[in-house]
Structure 1
């Protein structure tokens, strides 16, 4: 019997090395089991409560996980000002390819929160049936509309002529991000995924209106939507509840 463990790994991403944590359950020698790739949101990192709750819960259910810092975030390489959603999709694809070559992996699912949810949905749309299940927590499809209008988290800019950067949350969001985000075609690309999808969102979310989750749900063929009353964007005071819904959905991988 091999014990459950957690180990730091490094993966080459879009603009350098991604720092990641691979968590594996207790297993028999030669046993195969699923893995879930966990993706954090913008201005965040791989150690957020929702992500770590899911990682620990999956491990107890006999499912592996890998969580990582996107480029320009946490411990990974890259500058925040150069970060874009397309680059994050490339990061996620690099992690997917890493997971795909692990001997024990029987299938790969994706989970993402906020911008990480958008990234997960875009990658699933691209990879199709290579992805087993998709779990989205407050996926931030609103950003495409806001950036198109020249808005981001209370800051405004000219969308026809974006500045070199705008300062948000003490970070510099660069022109490349502002120019590329308005052209993502999120729903059109995401809906190509036909596997099972979970969408969880708080109805008191002040960052992403819950109607965006409803649109995701309408566009998918095989989805379930959970709207949580009085819950905000980062699931404050509802981390265990949100993670529990996610674990119930992802436990069906076994």
Structure 2
């Protein structure tokens, strides 16, 4: 469902690094559901708004926010990197969602969800990855760059990639180098909570091989991967949104 044109103004949190992070917080029962969006997406997107309405319909606490350089938060996208956006998420969770949480991470948000689970494993009551894209700066961008693009990034500080979502994607040297400090598929990663990975078979941004690699890598006793035939990276069709809601219902039943 589309974002509401009459949506109320967000609240803002000022981080310890003086970044202004825009957010919408819905009060309700815990554990709180927290949505972590993808690269260059924002909290007014289809999945974020759908999940907020899902949470309200069930009296569930819910949080959606914009990383710095995204949406209504401060900063320029080209100045940011995975480490910055993970810092934003960590501070938002610490200050606005101090109890246990269920994380729903879309694309890059899946990577950041895994970083949050590694940082505070005891706080994770569940995790849903929607086309999760761990380590994409290295295994996606860098691995696919030509020698000329690699030289441009490292020598000139950035390169521009065509994007089906609008303006070219600017990939910076800082994004590549910082990404290497935050990789999650190179060392053991355990999650002591239910994990559900949802992936469309027609996703051209994140290949299903990434989901299979994550499935094999995670140390988790309750881990399922669902491939949905014909769905793309957006994973926002009514069928996909209903699937996310059903998996959340199952995860939240009895969660404390």
TM tier, smaller: 0.7 to 0.9
Aligned pair 1:52/2:49, yes or no?
A: yes
Distance 1:140 1:240, change over 3 A: same
Give the conservation status (yes or no) of the 8 Å contact 1:19–1:76: yes
Output the CA distance in 2 between the equivalents of 1:114 and 1:219: 17
Across the aligned residues of Structure 1 and Structure 2, the Cα RMSD in angstroms comes to 2.6
More relative contact order, 1 or 2 (CA 8 Å, 6+ apart): 1
Among candidates 72, 75, 86, match of residue 72 of structure 2: 75
Q: Is the Cα–Cα contact under 8 Å of residues 32 and 60 in structure 2 kept in the other structure?
A: yes
**Equivalent of residue 23 in structure 2, options 4, 20, 25:** 20
In structure 2, the partner of 1:3 is: none
Q: Which moved more, 1:141-150 or 1:209-218?
A: 141-150
- Cα 1:86/1:167, change in 2 over 3 Å: same
Aligned to 2:242: 241
SS of the aligned residue for 1:212 comes to: helix
Distance in 1 between residues matched to 2:189 and 2:20, nearest whole Å: 30
**CA distance, structure 1, for counterparts of residue 124 and residue 131 of structure 2:** 20
How many residues end up aligned between the 2 structures?
237
2:107 to 108, 111, 114: 114
Q: Which runs of 5+ in 1 are unaligned?
A: 1-5, 26-31
For the 8 Å contact 2:131–2:233, the answer to whether it is kept is yes
1:84/1:64 Cα in 2 relative to 1: closer, same or farther (>3 Å)?
same
**Cα distance in 2 between the residues matched to 1:34 and 1:7:** 25
TM-score, scaled relative to structure 1: 0.83
Ranges in structure 2 where 5+ consecutive residues have no aligned partner: 1-7, 162-166
After TM superposition, the structure 1 stretch with the greater mean CA deviation from structure 2, 212-221 or 232-241, is 232-241
How many angstroms apart in 2 are the aligned matches of 1:59 and 1:162? 49
Residue 189 of structure 1, CA deviation: 5.7
